[in-house]
């Protein structure tokens, strides 16, 4: 039996690649969640008019990978103190968000976020939202496994 999880952590290409490396992740899909427009396109979302976040929806086997492990990847692959941006990408579509499918996921996400805050790792506030998962709109096919299709390991800019 598999479960779903969804995370917004900036541009979805690199986030998807990070989750695909985990044993127990069965499938990933990039798309849009949390907005007010039905069936948005990438162009709609990039215009910052729909209210959607770029997200990765993960289907995973909880017998092989714990939701807490998914949360660790989420926190590690972006800066949760950046409001409506990640690196050079700016707009509400790049916000940091955890979309939960159950009360157990919500509790785990809140506990994980508080542990990160308590760790003192960041000097700025953690602005990640934790919200019930709304409708997931799958992004266009050319966005799916974007980096993998191009033989790239990541889309991060060199430091």
Residue (of 158, 155, 159) closest to 11 by Cα position? 155
Nearest partner of 8 among 155, 131, 145, judged by Cα: 131
Q: Is 11 a catalytic residue?
A: yes
The strands making up 96-100's β-sheet, listed across from edge to edge, are 129-132, 96-100, 3-9, 53-60, 25-33, 137-138
Residues whose CB is less than 8 angstroms from the CB of residue 116 and which lie 6 or more positions away in sequence, other chains included? 75, 80, 122, 126
Secondary structure element (H or E) that encloses residue 114, with its range: helix 103-119
Distance CA 128, CA 7 (A): 10
Residue 127: how many CA atoms within 13 Å on its side-chain side?
16
Catalytic residue, from 11, 46, 77, 155: name it.
11
Q: Catalytic residues, which ones?
A: 11
């Amino acid at each position: 039996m598999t479960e779903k999880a969804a995370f917004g952590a900036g541009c979805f290409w690199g986030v998807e690649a990070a989750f695909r490396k985990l044993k127990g992740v069965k499938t990933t899909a990039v798309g849009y969640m949390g907005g007010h427009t039905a069936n948005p396109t990438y162009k709609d979302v990039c215009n910052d008019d729909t209210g959607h976040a770029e997200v990765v929806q993960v289907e995973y086997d909880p017998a092989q990978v714990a939701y807490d492990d998914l949360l660790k990847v989420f926190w590690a692959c972006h800066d949760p103190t950046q409001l409506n941006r990640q690196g050079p990408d700016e707009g509400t579509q790049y916000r940091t968000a955890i979309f939960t499918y159950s009360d157990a996921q919500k509790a785990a996400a809140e506990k994980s976020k508080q542990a990160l805050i308590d760790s003192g790792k960041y000097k700025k506030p953690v602005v990640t939202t934790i919200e019930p998962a709304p409708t997931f709109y799958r992004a266009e096919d050319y966005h799916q496994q974007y980096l993998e299709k191009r033989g790239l390991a990541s889309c991060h800019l060199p430091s």
